[in-house]
Amino acid sequence: MVLDLKELKEILEREVMQRMDHRFLNYEVAELKGQIPTCENIARVIWELLEPKIKKGRLHRVRLYESADLFADCYRNGVGGRLVQSREDYRTDLAELGRSGAAPLRVAGLKIELGRRYRFAASHRLHTEALSEEENARVFGKCANPYGHGHNYMLEISVSGEVDPATGMIANLADLDSFVEREVIEVFDHHSLNEDVAAFRNVVPTTENLCIEIVERLKRFPKANLERVRVQETTNNSFEYDGNQKGSAS
Ligand SMILES: [Zn+2]
């Protein structure tokens, strides 16, 4: 084992559950005083509570689900803040934040992402003019069927950025939802990917290519940075694409 799970469970129980379970987060959790208890802020507070207590191993990531379709991730990262290499650095950061009297909205080196899930249904046919009918059948199997077939796709996106102290959010959810709705859901939902989406006229609409097309559409979201896109085609297949890809068409 990397670490004793029983010990981890005890830390979680003591630091998180006893503080937050069945509490009014605005008033009963001292660490959230003066902050809006958004998923982003709560995930960060949980990180700050857990990280110093985990002596064996290292806390890699905290993911907090507010619902099945909304979650926040918190982890250490050298980008956007000083890379914290030791517990001493971390203590110094916290002490400095304490001295400045500012709410610790940004602990150096901590990165926070907002995750959101969406769903759409679409049909496609996996087939390319570049191959013969036999080769298409061999490569794509039943998916090369000329009549196509459909999937209930699940799209998961993660965005990062500064947590606005006024709202406690990286990006306003209504803004994010309406952008994704317009750029992706309205375009793909109940459509034939091959026939109705220009990008797939000459590109096979595999889920890999779907991920790339969705990144191209969503990286233009002006209010946060697109970190990644994951598309689940079936419960057995999901594909992920880094939203920070450079050099692709805009
Ligand atoms: Zn398919």
The whole-angstrom separation of Cα 174 and Cα 188 is 20
Query: From the candidates 31, 143, 191, 240, which is the catalytic residue?
Result: 143
Residues measured by CB to lie within 5 Å of ligand 1, the ion: 143
Q: Name the token pair of 178.
A: 């309406």
Active site residue 186: no
* Residue 164: Cβ within 10 Å count: 16
Sign of CA dihedral 157, 160, 161, 162: positive
Residue 125 pLDDT > 50: yes
Average pLDDT over residues 60-75: 96
Look at the alpha carbons of 75, 79, 80, 81 in this order and tell me if their dihedral is positive or negative.
Answer: positive
- What single-letter DSSP state applies at residue 115? E
* SS3 state of residue 16: helix
Q: What pLDDT is attached to residue 4?
A: 84
Intervals of CATH 3.30.479.10 along the chain: 116-242
Q: Which residue has the higher pLDDT, 246 or 165?
A: 165
Question: Alpha helix locations (H) across the chain?
Answer: 5-12, 18-20, 25-28, 39-50, 87-100, 133-140, 173-180, 186-188, 193-196, 207-218
Nearest-angstrom CA–CA distance, 8 and 101: 31
Q: How many CA atoms lie within 13 A of 162 on its CB side?
A: 5
Q: Rounded mean pLDDT of 65-80?
A: 85
What's the pLDDT score for residue 243?
Answer: 85
Q: Is the pLDDT of residue 133 over 80?
A: yes
Calculate how far, in angstroms, residue 196's C-alpha sits from the geometric centre of ligand 1. 16
Tell me which of 2.60.40.1220, 3.40.1710.10, 3.40.50.1370, 3.30.479.10 is the CATH number of domain 116-242.
Answer: 3.30.479.10
Ligand 1 center–CA 237 separation, angstroms: 10
Mean pLDDT of all residues in 216-231: 96
Distance (Å, whole) CA 157 – CA 113: 10
DSSP 118: E
Higher pLDDT, 57 or 119: 119
What mean pLDDT comes out for the span 214-230?
A: 96
Active site residue 39: no
- How, if at all, do strands 149-160 and 110-124 pair? antiparallel
115 CA → ligand 1 middle, Å = 25
Give pLDDT tens digits for 91-100. 555 565 555 5
Q: Is residue 8's pLDDT more than 70?
A: yes
The C-alpha atoms of residue 91 and residue 36 are separated, in whole angstroms, by 24
- Which listed residue (10, 162, 190, 195) is catalytic? 190
Tokens of 196: 């109705």
C-alpha 127 to ligand 1 mean position (Å): 11
Residue of 66, 156, 181, 233 marked active site:
233
- Check if 233 is active-site: yes
pLDDT tens for each residue of 22-56:
999 999 999 999 999 999 999 999 999 999 999 88
Per-residue buried b or exposed e for 111-143, using 16+ beta carbons within 10 Å of the residue's own CB: bbbbbbebebebbbbbbeeeeeeeebeeebeeb
Q: How far is the CA of 5 from the centre of ligand 1 (A)?
A: 40
User: Which residues make Cβ contacts (< 8 Å) with residue 173, sequence separation at least 6?
Assistant: 70, 116
CA of residue 216 to ligand 1 center, whole Å: 21
Residue 146, helix vs strand vs coil: coil
Q: How far is the CA of 149 from the centre of ligand 1 (A)?
A: 6
What percent of the chain clears pLDDT 70, i.e. is strictly above it? 86
**Centroid of ligand 1 to alpha carbon of 151 (angstroms):** 6
Stretch 183-211: mean pLDDT: 96
